[in-house]
A = this chain, B = another copy of it.
Amino acid sequence: MSASPLRIGIAGLGTVGVGVVRLLRANADLIAARAGRPIGVVAVAARARHRERGIDVSDLRWHDDATELARDPDLDVVVELIGGQEGAARALVTGALAAGRPVVTANKALIAVHGAELAALAERGRTPLAFEAAVAGGIPVIKALREGLAADRLTRVGGILNGTCNYILTTMRESGRDFGPILAEAQALGYAEADPSTDIDGIDTAHKLAILAALAFGRPVDFASVHVEGIRGIAALDIAFAAELGYRIKLLGIARLTEAGVEARVHPCLVPRTAPISQVEGVFNAVFAEGDFVGRVMLEGRGAGAGPTACAVVADLIDIARGTLVPVWGANADSLSRVVSVPMAQLSGDYYLRLHVRDRPGVIAEIAAVLRDCGVSLKSMLQHGEAAGEAVPIVLVTHTTRESALRAAISSIAALDVVLRVPTMIRIEAG
């Protein structure tokens, strides 16, 4: 191997950063063969130089300020693993691209929020900006959408994009227990962060979905238009009712290209128990893509963790070492389509509603009348519990209806005297 090494600098030595160093060292020969040249870490920016990380960093140049990596003259590529959509991460990536230095990042928030601006910088200098690790960890889904499925007009993309939520929902189903204690357990096991809101409120999924939708539909990334709901409102009762109806509950990110424009949304879904996406359990992720010619493709694997994420980072580095240059969003900025985003109220679908009502005669008739007046038609109803006069849960499943009509119906139902709490609404998806 006579070619000169690709010299990389890593900003951020957390789990993933250490994973990248380990992987580059463990598979050095194989990576050099595939990249056509060795890939070596020569500089690092992180706090706490002397923290024990299980890897030897003594031969690396150390920067206390990450943004210095953008200016280090003896680097070929900057790997940004700091995270966060602003601050040092944004400054480093912007600075490196402005200086014409290739960037590899795992930062989904940064790409989802500032991806259009960063792509413009990258395009101007014909500088690679790669982010395979930003979505679904070890599953090469960015490459699949941007290159593997580039010939087709995709009409739907999405999946299970957050392992923490999928672990919690899977464990709730298996144990029959409620959200709170399972979240606490996931935190103790390291599957959920101390502050879990980015994961469980759906924001992380929304970042990833915005990226997938931009690639699938060839349009500028648009995080602001993604509708986001998380899983805090899912009760053990909902999971049990869903099972009784033949469904599992999953947090999905779904983006569709319709005649009206692009619809992008993150929310819990009832998915048929037999649908392939329902079989994706625990911390696993899955991404589906559907196109006119290709039909449906689904990719599954580990969406997080040091090993899988490091594989994605290093795959990007190998591409850069090989000299591969693909437009950041699959096409140059002036070739991206300007298709509009569609608001949620225009969505049509089937819905699951859980109400708590006083168990007395005429309740069903009252609720049914509201639904009829709003133009919502019922497919099925479940009612359990017999304690007369007490609160009982009722589950309604609608036929396909406009979300705006359903929302109007929910407001009216919530105002009924016999209805004791704000109804729980979960959308139903084919998978």
Residues of A within 8 A of B (CB): 1, 19, 23, 26-27, 30-36, 132, 138-140, 143-144, 147-153, 218, 276, 279, 291-302, 305, 307-308, 310-315, 317-319, 322-327, 330-332, 335-336
Contacts and interface: CB of A to CB of B under 8 A. Distances in A.
B318 A293 contact: no
Contact of A132 (B148, B325, B330): B148
Contacts of A218: 30, 33-34
Contacts of A33: 218, 331-332, 335-336
A150 B315 contact: yes
Nearest to A145: B140
A330 B19 CA distance: 23
Copies of the protein in its oligomer: 2
Given A293-B311, A294-B308, A322-B326, 11 more contacts: A23-B151, A34-B331, A132-B148, A147-B318, A150-B314, A151-B312, A151-B313, A151-B314, A294-B307, A296-B302, A322-B325
B331 A308 contact: no
Given A36-B332, A292-B307, A307-B295, A315 B149 contact: yes
B148 A143 contact: yes
Contacts of A323: 325
Contacts of A139: 297
Contacts of A301: 294-298
Contacts of A319: 147
By Cβ-Cβ distance, the 10 closest A-B pairs, closest first, are: A140-B148, A151-B314, A33-B335, A293-B307, A297-B301, A138-B294, A33-B331, A294-B311, A295-B302, A298-B300
Contact of A295 (B279, B308, B324): B308
Given A149-B315, A319-B147, A276 B295 contact: no
A318 B150 contact: yes
Nearest to A291: B311
A31 B30 CA distance: 33
A1 B332 CA distance: 11
18 contacts: A23-B152, A26-B292, A30-B153, A31-B151, A34-B150, A34-B151, A35-B150, A140-B149, A144-B144, A147-B315, A150-B315, A151-B313, A152-B311, A276-B279, A291-B311, A293-B308, A297-B299, A324-B326
Contacts of A314: 150-151
Contacts of A292: 26, 307
Contact of A143 (B143, B308, B332): B143
A323 to B, nearest CB: 8
Nearest to A146: B34
A304 to B, nearest CB: 11
A310 B151 contact: yes
Task: Name which of A19, A313, A319 has the most chain B CB atoms within 10 A of its CB.
Answer: A319
